[in-house]
Structure 1
Amino acid sequence: MNDDNSRALYDRALSVMPGGVNSAVRAAIEPYPFFVQKGDRGHVIDADGNRYIDWVMGLGPLLLGHNLPESVQAGIQQKASEGPMYGTPTEIEVDLAEFVVRHVPSVEKIRFVNSGTEATTSAVRLARGYTGRNKIVVNQGGYHGAQESTLVDGDAENVAPSSAGVPQSFAEHTIPVPFNDEDAVREAFEKHGDDIAAVMTEPILANYGIVDPDDGYHDFLREITDEHGSLLIFDEVITGFRVGGLGCAQSEFDITPDLTTFGKIIGGGFPVGALGGRAEIIEQLAPSGPVFQAGTFSGHPVTMAAGLETLQFAAANNVYDHVNTLGDQLRAGLTDIVAEQAPEYTVAGTDSMFKVIFTRDGEAPSNAADVKNAETDRWRRVFWGQMKAQEVFLSQNQFECQFVSYGHTEADVEETLEAYKHAL
């Protein structure tokens, strides 16, 4: 497999970009990432003409795959042809807001922003502004973007920034607890309940392997936050409009959070984020309230068109039946392969998300520590390259999720399962 052009491009990139990339995870591929030239349905083609089945799907946004249906493409192109952006409201952002409010019961009002990170940053600020409190409870291994309030390591008693440049004083307002650990959450509220503004959690840990909640865990979070006057924030940047269909993961778990953050699919593959929830809370955002939030590109008309056309197409064309059926086929096939060839590993995922986690005991992980203790180096340094050699593109490390799109086929699934048989 020739990769001369990708190597040359990476050499050029190292001269002008830190690590040769614009997002750190892209450099996880060793010795250098391949550069994609274009997408084709459920595949990508790199700068050297190599073709791969793509299960990364832009790290989640591409629900429809790389070739957008004609109606979706036309809607995007129309908005782009009318002008890039205006600095004033447009009808299309109202249309998308109405669609989300209509389909996600917990969202009474919504504010569009430009990234998942911006959405979670705004959610934390809003929770603090609304409650008048400072502390945020998060799950260890949960990813809420590149923001100061959640770039933390450690536990409730020994928290520290996970990145240089984040002051310790910021981290001290964050309380990390293990996912699925009700006792740790209770202890946090016993000690700091009067100053906890919110618990922020992914419904499913989807950026640290894939870790499902224990039965009743989210109900417990709903109850304890209500009891203490704190907010419950669901970070659905990854799961939103993927798990649970148009109702999102919260509908799957029958939980009504106070705030929800969105990204990825809600923009149809274009840069986006959103923050939605109870009207009385969202209305605390400027200009109707005292919590400042603004952005030049927020509600960008091309992004709004891409998001609306994507979601409308998904609603009208059985997209979720297609991607979830293929997801079931992948997980079933992988479960059989793992049982035969690597019984210590586990298959994780739901709906159109999937992952083989290189656990050491055959037990599905219940928190981030379980995933961290898996054979992460083997996954990245040995297995990933073996899959790439068979023209299957998986996420860049053990932790990132993998996604099925409307552009994938049963043939893609069968070819991928054969590649797993050879690589495991």
Structure 2
Amino acid sequence: MNHERSRQLYDRALSVAPGGVNSSVRATMPHPIFAERGDGGHVIDADGNRYIDWVMGYGPLLYGHDLPEPVEAAIQSHTAGGPMYGMPTEIEVEHAEFVARHVPSVESIRFVNSGTEATVSAVRLARGYTGREKVVIMQGGYHGAQESTLVEGTSDSAHPSTAGVPEAFAEHTLPIPFNDVEAATEVFAEYGDDIAAVLVEPILANNGIVMPVDGYHETLRDLCTDHGSLLIFDEVITGFRVGGLGCAQSALGVTPDVTTFGKIIGGGFPVGAIGGTAEIIEGFTPAGDVFQSGTFSGHPVTMAAGKASLEYAAENDVYDHVNRLGRMLREGITEICAERAPEYTVVGTDSMFKTVFTREGPTSAADCCPAGCLQDPECGRYGACPKTGADVAAAETDRWERVFWQGMKDEGVLLTANQFECQFTSYAHTEEDVERTLEAYRAVL
């Protein structure tokens, strides 16, 4: 493939943007591919190369690059009314009502502008509601670019994971391993009276896709209840992808006190949201004393796109379609890995999928989860499958980025460029797209 125009655009971007990008995850090697337009489940780059797109904007594009007519009409009707008003609109009330009807944890909701803003606000709310300062997070979890969670290490030795975050923030953050019931119990035994919240992705979705082991979230729920702490589910990625309109919490059967959203809840436009019980969410100003505000919060075009997107999914076979394709991909990749790389682990659920290049595993795929790791103790791979962020980080991350991703790109299949970000099916994808992708896997793996 020719990428000359992308290279030229990157050269220009380096002169006016740090690293030539506006989000660090886009800084692929040897240079980013610049997109020109989308077409259903495909994307065309600046050089005219066409790819099957499984990145899907890192999750928000449930319908791919072509929106259903009712969604497009809703967006256009609200765009025609003007850019924005700085005033409440009926559409934000209707969207809030729809979400509250379908998501178990949500009675009240505050719309914001990004997933990061949602998690920042949720942590502030938890501290204000409980009068406590410490927050438990998962090692390898991701909750956006915020100081309270850009922290690594252990609960008794935490430190910032990036320059620019004061050590004082890390003092109030308690990282523990995901899926480790003993670690969760111990951190509450030591700090329980000081813990404002546990902030956790119901499925680690920014770290190779790690499913929870049986009983893990139930343990977190019980610990939070017993100690008066809030359980916050970060469903920025899993929301309205796992578990359909009820989100991952409905699929797992665990109801958090607070849920953060992004991506699909805005129909592909910039968005975030914090939902939960009315008692807790009304801690935000002006109802309560936890300050939260934003000029573009509840933007009418975003609200229209989000509401119409979810309504269309409720009335059509959207989740049946995307979940079926997701299963086809995971099953097909599992078969290919069994032949060519049995140590690798296929992960994902519903419309999410990924292959983690784990270094160890059984030489036979017999009796293994056929469509993505479910953390089944009866599975022959159970001891080798990733259960924490550290397990994913120990995989062949360089091989994915430097060899595999490059090879798939050359085959016309666009995957997320690192080992950690997950991939997504959309309503615009077809069985033919799946088959072509599996052919590329066979050629490259």
Q: Considering the TM-score relative to the shorter chain, is it more than 0.5?
A: yes
Query: Match of 2:163, SS?
Result: coil
Letter in structure 2 aligned against 1:16: V
What TM-score do you get using the length of structure 1 for normalisation? Answer: 0.99
Q: 1:80-121 CA deviation, whole Å, 9 max, x = no partner? A: 011010000000000100000000121000000000000000
List aligned pairs for 1:52-71, cutoff 5 A. Answer: 52-71=51-70
Give the CA deviation at 1:238: 0.1
Name the CA distance, whole Å, in 1 between partners of 2:18 and 2:427. 34
Map of 2:16 onto structure 1: 16
Asked if the contact 1:119–1:273 (Cα under 8 Å) also holds between the matched residues in 2, the reply is yes
Query: Match of 1:15, SS?
Result: coil
Asked if the contact 1:259–1:275 (Cα under 8 Å) also holds between the matched residues in 2, the reply is yes
Map of 1:138 onto structure 2: 137
Name the CA distance, whole Å, in 2 between partners of 1:376 and 1:163. 20
Letter in structure 1 aligned against 2:281: I
Letter in structure 1 aligned against 2:249: Q
Q: 1:155-196 CA deviation, whole Å, 9 max, x = no partner? A: 111100011111000111000000001111111111111100
Map of 2:386 onto structure 1: 365
Q: 1:241-293 CA deviation, whole Å, 9 max, x = no partner? A: 00000000000000110000000000000000000001100011000000000
Map of 1:381 onto structure 2: 402
Letter in structure 2 aligned against 1:372: A
Name the CA distance, whole Å, in 2 between partners of 1:120 and 1:197. 14
List aligned pairs for 1:133-282, cutoff 5 A. Answer: 133-282=132-281
Q: 1:124-146 CA deviation, whole Å, 9 max, x = no partner? A: 00000000000000000100000
1:348 lines up with 2:351 in the alignment: no
Name the CA distance, whole Å, in 2 between partners of 1:197 and 1:188. 13
Asked if the contact 1:203–1:235 (Cα under 8 Å) also holds between the matched residues in 2, the reply is yes
List aligned pairs for 1:256-335, cutoff 5 A. Answer: 256-335=255-334
Structure 1: 5+ residue runs without aligned partners? none
What TM-score do you get using the length of structure 2 for normalisation? Answer: 0.95
Name the CA distance, whole Å, in 1 between partners of 2:92 and 2:226. 36
Asked if the contact 1:112–1:299 (Cα under 8 Å) also holds between the matched residues in 2, the reply is yes
Name the CA distance, whole Å, in 1 between partners of 2:44 and 2:385. 34
Identity of aligned residues (%): 71
Letter in structure 1 aligned against 2:95: L
Query: Match of 1:199, SS?
Result: strand
Letter in structure 2 aligned against 1:223: D
Give the CA deviation at 1:317: 1.0
Give the CA deviation at 1:69: 1.0
Name the CA distance, whole Å, in 1 between partners of 2:444 and 2:135. 42
Letter in structure 2 aligned against 1:20: G
1:2 lines up with 2:5 in the alignment: no
Map of 2:420 onto structure 1: 399
Q: 1:313-338 CA deviation, whole Å, 9 max, x = no partner? A: 11111100000000010011011000
Asked if the contact 1:348–1:364 (Cα under 8 Å) also holds between the matched residues in 2, the reply is no
Task: Choose 183-192 or 276-285, whichever is displaced more.
Answer: 183-192
Map of 2:377 onto structure 1: none
Name the CA distance, whole Å, in 2 between partners of 1:353 and 1:116. 18
Name the CA distance, whole Å, in 2 between partners of 1:79 and 1:416. 37
Structure 2: 5+ residue runs without aligned partners? 362-383
Asked if the contact 2:104–2:249 (Cα under 8 Å) also holds between the matched residues in 1, the reply is no
Map of 1:338 onto structure 2: 337
Asked if the contact 2:207–2:422 (Cα under 8 Å) also holds between the matched residues in 1, the reply is yes
Letter in structure 2 aligned against 1:32: H
Map of 1:112 onto structure 2: 111
Question: How many residue pairs align between the two structures?
Answer: 423
Query: Match of 2:66, SS?
Result: coil
Following superposition, which runs of at least 4 residues in structure 1 exceed 6 angstroms of deviation?
A: none
Query: Match of 1:16, SS?
Result: coil
Asked if the contact 2:59–2:424 (Cα under 8 Å) also holds between the matched residues in 1, the reply is yes
Alpha-carbon RMSD across the aligned residues, in angstroms, is 0.5
Query: Match of 1:180, SS?
Result: coil
